[in-house]
Amino acid sequence: MKKLLLTLVVFSTCTLYGQDKTQINTVNFSVGKNATKFLYQFGSETKPTQYVNGNAYSLNIGIDLSAKHTIRPELNFYQAGAKTIVDDLPLNWKLTYLGVGCGYLYNILNKNTISLSPGAVVGVDYMTRGEQTIGVNRYDVIENNYLKKLNVSAGLLLNSRFKVNETLFLSFEYRFNFGLNQIEIDSEEKTRNIGNVGLIGLSFKI
């Protein structure tokens, strides 16, 4: 709960700070694919997991602090998880998260028709649904309290935008996200989310 409140404070501060310095410049909506897995460790042994694919959605507002610096409060909804095989038995996790975050972009190229911006993002996500499959048996992750509901993450990103007309831009974005907190409840196990996200979207200039 403390981490959730802290992130909400960061999200609100990000928005208010941007509004204090300048006005909201763009509203951006993106959809794409998320490839995620777990960084999983049992005791001193690290066990490999494989990527699973899911959908990702992002709604954010762009606040230009200057010609080079932009902050983006955002709302995200995405599917995550992982899969592996233990003793010839397949294990699969399917998780759904809703989260808020705040991103920063540094505009290295900002022309009239195209822009290119690397950056970083932090956020906190709440698990709205979770399923674990062991062989052919399915279990509710939330109901059985298998994993923590809260996922705190950070990431690196690269965003590009292409002008369609005076108020509409087409955007492409890649993100590499990694979990900052331990989501495993079992004290003998350590599990963190890690993932790659590809997004395509529309950016509306206000």
Q: Which of 60, 58, 83, 86 is nearest to 73 (CA)?
A: 60
At 187, is the pLDDT very low, low, confident or very high (cuts 50, 70, 90)?
A: confident
- Map tokens 């399923």 to a residue: 131
Structural domain span for residue 132: 2-205
In this predicted model, what pLDDT tens digit does every residue of 69-89 receive, in sequence order?
A: 999 999 999 999 999 988 888
What average pLDDT score do residues 19-31 get?
A: 81
Rounded Cα distance, 198 and 157, in Å: 10
In this predicted model, what pLDDT tens digit does every residue of 143-185 receive, in sequence order?
A: 999 999 999 999 999 999 999 999 999 999 999 999 999 999 8
pTM of the entire predicted model? 0.88
For the chain, the domain total comes to 1
In this predicted model, what pLDDT tens digit does every residue of 35-71 receive, in sequence order?
A: 999 998 877 778 889 999 999 999 999 999 988 999 9
CATH number at residue 176: 2.40.160.20
